[in-house]
Structure 1
């Protein structure tokens, strides 16, 4: 840095910054007003003019700068280097001929000389940070130090420290926030993984329980009853799901036991079991069996199961047969009590399980005859009050006729007429009106019969057409497995001699 003597040989230059984008520049008493858009531009303009003077005189030019109540001496050298002088000499008197001379030296405020060296840095928390050390070395960005490309002064260093400290605090807060978020996300993942593992374990345990329960039900259905058993499916109310129950229960028992099961439509009028069943290559019915086939079953030597195939309809992979009622109501009337006995006797020669789909007239001769041969009663009930009431009336009639044992061991199947949402354990999870109705109807049979079971709504059964057992919902299949096992349990308790069959719990 270059400093002049007390009596400079170069022009006397002063610059007064008026603070409104204007500077009053005086060179040897010649005053000029300069204007610019910013104070920085004014400073640069003053230095640029002083530089030209220094070059023209080939000597340093000292500029006395008055700005904001402070005075400093700036040396501008011919080679373009600049600096701040160590002290401020008294300003020379203004030329008398100037209309607006600069103030005499004694009237000026005491000179304030800014230290040209960067202020010593106080203890700074991030003093050793490489980023801060790099930023601290950057030249001044404001004021005369910026114009003269000098290191930042104390005030700017302090400002930079404040900004850097704020930046570092924000970075630390951000790091802590991100770390907290990372920990929270990790904890959420851990909780989610734990919940998923628990849910998977719960589902596996549920699947294992269901499989064990299914195996238990299967063994029960497969019990050897040591003789033919007749299951009566009855409810005098039309639309109570008698035919649906007979068919699906026959399919469940037949497929589980491996055959030797038949579903017989013993309706006093034209029944619909034949319509709901799978077609065969013939359309013969129970009346045809009585008229044309009974002669082949008069004694054991003439009885052949192959002959019976001409009258029953095989149901394929369901492993059971269907004996349909006649489509002519006049011919169906031939199935009186004697006709029932003949058909039942024939079927008992070739099947272990006979399911009888009855009509709506419990006083019909063949119905009362069916009561005599029944080993088990199944009562299908649509989830409606009229279906429930007719079933209760029938139960009372059974008891009055001396068949109270059939009522006491009956299995009631409550068929839901609308979907009911259930949890994994099969419990309803809402309180819709139709759910409450189904529960109310089921409760009407409790303590009167052996078992009351729900049968869920299945849209595959809604249209009343041919039943495709393998297209039914898993819930429907499960419900009928429960029903078949309940029927088998009742038969075990009532018709098997102790010690003559395998324990269903084994």
Structure 2
């Protein structure tokens, strides 16, 4: 049965994340505002239902929001349909019952013949495909109301990225967050990537401050009821590697982030750099302990690219991340580092070629075009370059994933998925 969806009246609706919207009826705009996006949708669709009732037939409504555009059919009784969904026959995909039944071969019934068991379907692993329904945004609201809308392209991308950061790999992985210039956003990048991986993939994520010149990762994360740092852990590495060491023993030396689910191994920002030098051998011992107790180790590198601990970190790294802002000196320092690693050795060159660059907008008034321009500039040097919008919660104070704006959280998920690709 075909629908009478004549082009008049011409209706289109636009929804914004701030619970405001606009319905355009034959070119005339009507504005709407509500206390929530759900209420906003109800108000706009109620108005379209009135128009359909006045017309005495279904009307075509074009809907636009941050997920994209699609077409709905609104009926005079207020019910809503999706033109694509209405054309789908949900029973056809299953086929006739007879095609799904197992058959039995005819076997001669003689005394000399051994009878074979008839073939059959397993009772244990029966695939019953479930229709995929939208869960987010306008489409998700309609799907929850009973209309079979499929996920938007944006929702499918988000689901794929959530799957990527939720994976557990066979064996531990080490990620190094690097840039030789101070203030390039290494510490927020370390903490927020750790949060994305831990919140989605479960525990087993360590953020390690490998900075001997007043690293601030400990200042910007939660502190447990002890003051342990890297210097506290070093004398205990042998006992932690012994057969009698228990998983919970590492808790004496790290600081758990209750909301974001990862642990922090702090440096000591009150000590002079000369008092907390770590040799290559020391780093090896620390890394062996870290990868015994954690599946994913994310290292805030510090700024001294000539330090033994910095160079040994590179030797143990599986995925390199360049953290930078849109400021020229930060971006140039990151690019020069990639070029230097290309010349160091084969392992370092591979890390440079497969690096992910995360460009954060560090100033509220800075144009987003500067961030995109820097990201494009890294494309010839690295595997991927992604951008993070300005968010005041990233600039000063304790870093908490939940306190970020929704679009910032979405950007960090995208960045973490790009990093996961290399693991």
Report the TM-score, using the length of structure 1 for normalisation: 0.54
Q: Do residues 259 (structure 1) and 259 (structure 2) align? A: no
Matches of 1:254 and 1:332, distance apart in 2: 32
What corresponds to 1:334 in structure 2?
Answer: 277
1:204 aligns with 2:138: yes
In 2, the alpha carbon distance for the partners of 1:465 and 1:331 equals: 27
More off after superposition, 445-454 vs 189-198: 189-198
- Structure with higher RCO (Cα < 8 A, 6+ apart): 2
Written as runs of structure 1 = structure 2, the 5 A alignment for 1:2-401 is: 189=25, 193=48, 197-199=62-64, 202=70, 204=138, 208-291=152-235, 293-299=236-242, 301-327=243-269, 328-330=271-273, 333-401=276-344
- Preserved contact between residue 368 and residue 389 of structure 2 (Cα < 8 Å): no
The DSSP-based 3-state class of the residue aligned with 1:230 is strand
Partner of 1:67: none
Q: Is the 1:325–1:332 Cα contact (8 Å) retained in structure 2?
A: no
What RMSD, in angstroms, separates the aligned Cα atoms of the two structures?
Answer: 2.5
> Against the structure 1 CA distance between its residues 205 and 188, is the aligned structure 2 distance closer, same or farther, given a 3 Å change threshold?
closer
Matched residues in 2 for 1:341 and 1:372: separation?
10
Task: Tell me, yes or no, if the aligned pair for 1:336 and 1:366 is still in contact at 8 Å.
Answer: yes
CA contact (8 A) 1:235 1:394 kept: yes
Stretch deviating more after TM superposition (233-242 or 193-202): 193-202
Contact 1:231/1:355, CA 8 A, preserved across alignment: yes
Return the match for 1:469 from 387, 401, 405: 401
TM-score, length-scaled by structure 2:
0.65
Sort the Cα spacing of 1:318 and 1:444 in 2 relative to 1 into closer, same or farther, 3 A: same
* Mapped contact 2:168–2:201 kept (Cα < 8 A): no
> Does the 8 Å contact 1:411/1:450 carry over to 2?
yes
Shift, 1:334, TM fit: 3.3
Over 3 Å counting, the alpha-carbon distance change for 1:393 and 1:336 in structure 2 is same
Counterpart contact for 2:230–2:267, Cα < 8 Å: yes
State the 1:415 CA deviation: 0.6
Structure with greater helix percent? 1
Q: What are the superposed Cα offsets for residues 148-182 of structure 1, whole Å, 9 maximum, x if unpaired?
A: xxxxxxxxxxxxxxxxxxxxxxxxxxxxxxxxxxx
Instruction: Give the Å deviation of 1:296.
Output: 1.4
**Which has the higher Rg, Structure 1 or Structure 2?**
1
Unaligned runs of 5+ in 1: 1-182, 421-432, 492-506
Shift of 1:479: 1.1
Distance 1:342 1:302 in 2: 17
Cα distance, 1:392 vs. partner?
A: 1.1
Q: Structure 1 pair 188/221, CA: closer, same or farther in 2 (3 Å)?
A: closer
Task: Find the residue that maps to 2:320 and give its secondary structure.
Answer: strand
| Contact 2:318–2:351 (8 Å) recurs in 1 | yes
Change (3 A) 1:323 1:460: same
Match of 2:383 in 1: 450
Classify 1:329/1:351 alpha carbon distance in 2 versus 1 (closer, same or farther; 3 Å).
same
Match of residue 131 from structure 1: none
Counterpart residue number, 1:415: 360
SS for the counterpart of 1:199 is strand
Separation in 1, partners of 2:344, 2:231: 28
Which residue number corresponds to residue 55 of structure 2?
none
Q: CA deviation at 1:490?
A: 1.5
Q: What's the CA shift for 1:210?
A: 2.8
CA distance in 1, matches of 2:223, 2:64: 45
Distance 1:209 1:298 in 2: 47
Moved more, 410-419 or 259-268: 410-419
State the Cα distance separating 1:188 from its structure 2 match: 6.8
* Paired positions, count: 293
State the alpha-carbon separation in 2 of the partners of residues 395 and 237 from structure 1: 13
Aligned equivalents of 1:389, 1:456: Cα separation in 2: 20
Look up the match of 2:351.
406
Query: Judging changes above 3 Å, is the alpha-carbon distance between structure 1 residues 399 and 276 closer, same or farther for their aligned structure 2 residues?
Result: same
Deviation at 1:338, TM superposition (A): 1.4
Asked if structure 2 preserves the Cα contact closer than 8 Å seen for 1:296 and 1:307, the reply is: no
Residue-by-residue CA offset, 1:74-126 (whole Å, 9 max, x unaligned): xxxxxxxxxxxxxxxxxxxxxxxxxxxxxxxxxxxxxxxxxxxxxxxxxxxxx
Instruction: Report the secondary structure of 1:294's partner residue.
Output: helix
